[in-house]
Structure 1
Amino acid sequence: MNWKSVCFDWNRTRAFLVTAEEGTLSAAANALNMTQPTLSRQVASLEQEIGVRLFERAGHRLELTSSGMELLQLARKMGDAASDFSLMANGQSQQLEGTVVISVCELDAVYRLPRIIAKLREEEPGITIEVVVSNKVSDLNRRDADIAIRSFCPTQPDLIARKLGEETVWLYGTEEYLQPYNDINSLEDIHNIQLIGFSDSSKMVDQLNQQGWNLSLNNVKLSTDYQMMQIKLCKENLGLIYLTQDVGDQEQHLVKAFEQFGPAICLPVWAVCHQELRTNRRIRRVFDFVSDELKKYLSQTM
């Protein structure tokens, strides 16, 4: 290979790739944890190095030139290769020191993980724990996190998963809100109830209707993906919310709604990790510890 023909800097190529993916310099700078002027200089330096204009400005956004669009495909392949290299290298580490990133949903982050992390910190003080809190699915292949707690088993062959148990999800509300429905004997009689939903509440409505409810999106006039706000809104007597039993039973002023008809849904709980990282002692230690503690917790709360 003629190494002299490789005349560009990977860091600058990464700056181009992230800018193209994010759409603006400010968003890309935030993703790379650098200042916008620094990122702008890196992109400009790459354009100068390769002698190609990559972007055209369109208001506050950047649009790829035709040359930029062609080079973006190759830059994505380079980004994937760099991610694979990092995964493989990280998987060789045998140290019990360093950082492990765990991705969990909001309710796990607030109600379940703190106690587990406190215990882990006592046993492994050399390991730094970073928690990514999101109700969206973290991409472990792209290193959004090292470990994720999910409600479904992944299908990607390069991910490994351990089932930790199941969690029961009920509708919860205040006694005051539920008082007019105390004499309900059939789900078909519930028409004007309000649910506090998510940005896409159709799945929630469909799940309940499959169990005999008679609801539509008119029963979801209030929604937010921020579950801690859902709890606060519920306590203001604005509707019912989905909560796992262990979380809902901890919340004062909330009770199970229509308990006589059973839970809304039951979900599995999985711990997921990239297979390359399972050879890393530090990540394997955290994966096993968190999995064992969550499994024990779920068995006690079902």
Structure 2
Amino acid sequence: MNWAAISFDWNQVRAFLATAEEGSFSGAARALKTTQPTIGRQISELEERLGVTLFERSVRGPTLTEAGRDLLDHVRVMGEAATRISMSATAHSEDISGLVTVTATDLLSAQTLPGLLAPLRDSNPGVRVNIVASNDLQNLIQREADIAIRHVRPEQPDLIARHVGDFHAGLYASKAYLDRAGRPRTPRDVADHDFVGNPDPTRLIAPMHNLGIPLRPENFVMSSESGVVVWQLLRADLGLSVLPDALCDPDPSLERVLPELPPFQFPIWLVTHRELQTSKRIRVVFDLLVRGFREMGNLKRD
């Protein structure tokens, strides 16, 4: 079929592309921030317009037909072109107003970004900020975010990154927990305590072993993917955890365990797409974050 000769409704095309990439109507609805019935209706309308079946429907979910696979190659090219057009329009905008999306971990989003972004309301009140609190690496190339704050340097050549410093982190517990369970005097003593943290304990066990702390998976009594939840588990007197000094030191209910231990370090990278650096509103937010992180007294800088 000559797809180039057919006019398309872009909403229908986006629904088709998202379903093909997500593997389900529900996944496409989440990606496009709409409803599953809307996705199904748009794809059915596209199929009716084209006179072909694009997906086989079954209890296992939608499966691309041969016609669907053929169309997918063309639609991906259209999607890439649309993204480039959006980036170009944003890059050449002279208006310092509009929406900027910033993504960071939930802990950074809740505890650090509000203070860093507050001056924006006075300096550039026309700029609106959407904070995406996510521990996943958002795809800047597909414009899921304008600015990302990450702990690893991205490898994509279209992205630029600036290292603004390193968060120091240490081993902390609540004073109430330590009063009850006892304060470790040596690294070996730490292994006799409960821990809270990430659901994958191996991420902490290996560096602890390097410090002479023989942790085991059994030490971890509660866990969460959310850094904010882990912080609250710590404050609820449930055990020890590794968290940033900037978060724990100001909290009078928390205490650093074995402060002589070497600190853990988490690099802070500010990342944006190369083309978006010429967008004034995105540049304003990017530069504000750079200054804010570098002015933080508890952030180690190069």
TM-score between both structures, scaled by the size of structure 1: 0.89
What is the rounded CA distance, in whole Å, between the counterparts of 1:61 and 1:219 in structure 2?
40
What is the rounded CA distance, in whole Å, between the counterparts of 1:3 and 1:14 in structure 2?
16
Shift of 1:117: 1.9
What is the rounded CA distance, in whole Å, between the counterparts of 2:7 and 2:128 in structure 1?
38
Give the equivalent residue in structure 1 for 2:47: 47
Between 23-32 and 169-178, report the one with greater CA deviation.
23-32
Give the equivalent residue in structure 2 for 1:292: 291
Call closer, same or farther: CA 1:24–1:252 in 2, change over 3 Å.
farther
Give the equivalent residue in structure 2 for 1:272: 271
Call closer, same or farther: CA 1:103–1:49 in 2, change over 3 Å.
same
What's the secondary structure of 1:260's corresponding residue? coil
Give the equivalent residue in structure 2 for 1:100: 100
Shift of 1:211: 2.4
Call closer, same or farther: CA 1:291–1:61 in 2, change over 3 Å.
same
Judge conservation of contact 2:169–2:242 (CA < 8 Å) in 1.
Answer: yes
Call closer, same or farther: CA 1:70–1:226 in 2, change over 3 Å.
same
What is the rounded CA distance, in whole Å, between the counterparts of 1:117 and 1:271 in structure 2?
14
Say what the alpha-carbon RMSD is for the aligned residues: 2.3
What's the secondary structure of 2:57's corresponding residue? strand
Shift of 1:296: 0.7
Judge conservation of contact 1:24–1:60 (CA < 8 Å) in 2.
Answer: no
Give the equivalent residue in structure 2 for 1:68: 68
Shift of 1:244: 0.6
Give the equivalent residue in structure 2 for 1:142: 142
Call closer, same or farther: CA 1:218–1:4 in 2, change over 3 Å.
closer
Summarize the alignment of residues 27-38 of structure 1 with structure 2, pairs less than 5 Å apart: 27-38=27-38
TM-score between both structures, scaled by the size of structure 2: 0.89
Q: What is the total number of aligned residue pairs between the two structures?
A: 298
What is the rounded CA distance, in whole Å, between the counterparts of 1:296 and 1:255 in structure 2?
25
Between 137-146 and 53-62, report the one with greater CA deviation.
53-62
Call closer, same or farther: CA 1:3–1:22 in 2, change over 3 Å.
closer
What is the rounded CA distance, in whole Å, between the counterparts of 2:127 and 2:170 in structure 1?
36
Summarize the alignment of residues 83-122 of structure 1 with structure 2, pairs less than 5 Å apart: 83-122=83-122
Judge conservation of contact 1:56–1:64 (CA < 8 Å) in 2.
Answer: yes
What is the rounded CA distance, in whole Å, between the counterparts of 2:153 and 2:35 in structure 1?
38
What is the rounded CA distance, in whole Å, between the counterparts of 1:69 and 1:103 in structure 2?
33
Summarize the alignment of residues 1-302 of structure 1 with structure 2, pairs less than 5 Å apart: 5-59=5-59, 61-179=61-179, 180-182=181-183, 184-185=185-186, 187-263=187-263, 265-297=264-296, 299-300=297-298
What is the rounded CA distance, in whole Å, between the counterparts of 1:162 and 1:62 in structure 2?
41
Shift of 1:286: 1.2
Call closer, same or farther: CA 1:51–1:230 in 2, change over 3 Å.
same
Call closer, same or farther: CA 1:3–1:43 in 2, change over 3 Å.
closer
List 4+ stretches of structure 1 deviating above 4 A: none
What is the rounded CA distance, in whole Å, between the counterparts of 1:247 and 1:117 in structure 2?
17
What is the letter of the counterpart of residue 296 of structure 1?
Answer: E
Call closer, same or farther: CA 1:63–1:288 in 2, change over 3 Å.
same
What is the letter of the counterpart of residue 170 of structure 1?
Answer: G
Call closer, same or farther: CA 1:58–1:207 in 2, change over 3 Å.
farther
Structure 1: runs of 5+ lacking an equivalent: none
Shift of 1:192: 3.0
- Cα shift readout 1:267-302 (whole Å, capped 9, x = no counterpart): 2212111110001111111111121112111x4555
- Cα shift readout 1:75-95 (whole Å, capped 9, x = no counterpart): 333323322222222212121
Structure 2: runs of 5+ lacking an equivalent: none
Judge conservation of contact 1:29–1:36 (CA < 8 Å) in 2.
Answer: yes
What is the rounded CA distance, in whole Å, between the counterparts of 1:73 and 1:209 in structure 2?
49
